[in-house]
Structures are given as C-alpha cells and as structure tokens.
Amino acid sequence: MNGHTLGECTKSILPVRDALEVLNGKWKLPIIVSLMFGNKRFSQIAREVPGITDKMLSKELRDLECNELVKRKVYDSIPVVVEYSLTDYGHSLKVVIEVLRAWGMKHRERMMGEVTV
C-alpha cells in the first residue's frame, strides 16, 4: 500500500493551500461576499463588514487585488472616489464558497444538533 510517496501527497496539497490562503483570515470572505452583491466604495465596504478597521480593509483589499480577485478603480474627482469590484475571476470563487458552505452547514448540524446560531 505504499504505491505513493508522501512527497507526492505534499505536492498535491499545495494548490489546496493556495486556495485556502485566498479565503483565509477574518476579513477576506466577508469582503468578497459583500462585493459579490455589487461594486462598492471603500467606506461602503467598511460599513458592510462590521468590525473591520480601515487598516485591515486596506490591507485585505490590496491582497485581493494582488490575487486579481478584486479590481480597483479610481475616479479623479474631488474628493477622490475609489470603486472596488469583483473581477470575473473573483466571481469564480463563488463555486468554491458554495461547496464550503454546503459542507460547513452539514458540519454545523452534525456538531451542534440543531442550534439556532
């Protein structure tokens, strides 16, 4: 039963790690979900993601932008307006999130019976 090496297994989980990292942290998920409902401005996201600080929002948006999940568009008005939107690629996360959500819901039920939260 050792037809596989653990090295291979290790390699095969690297992409999984990548995917997890993209969703990782307290804020990326709510930000992405928020943007799935439409383009938003900085302070609008801040309002819709309760508890996040400007610093965190700024950092997470930059992360997401680096990963090409979020697009940042600056309007040269005064005061400056910045609009964030999910890229098509960002929207492709929806499937992933759905699968996670489906499994997570089963897990909740299993772990807590039928607790309200």
Partner DNA sequence: CCGCATCCAGTTCGATACTG
Partner DNA sequence: CAGTATCGAACTGGATGCGG
| Site for a copy of itself, rule CB under 8 A | 1, 4, 6, 9-10, 12-20, 22-24, 29-30, 33-34, 37-38, 48-50, 67-68, 89, 92-93, 95-97, 99-108, 110-111, 117
- In the complex, least distance from residue 20 CB atom to a copy of itself, rounded to whole angstroms: 6
User: What is the distance between the alpha carbons of residues 25 and 41, in angstroms, rounded to a whole number?
Assistant: 21
Strands of 81-86's sheet, edge to edge? Answer: 40-41, 81-86, 70-75
User: What is the distance between the alpha carbons of residues 115 and 91, in angstroms, rounded to a whole number?
Assistant: 31
Subset of residues 27 to 66 that bind DNA, contact rule: CB under 7 A: 27, 41-44, 51-56, 58-59, 61-62
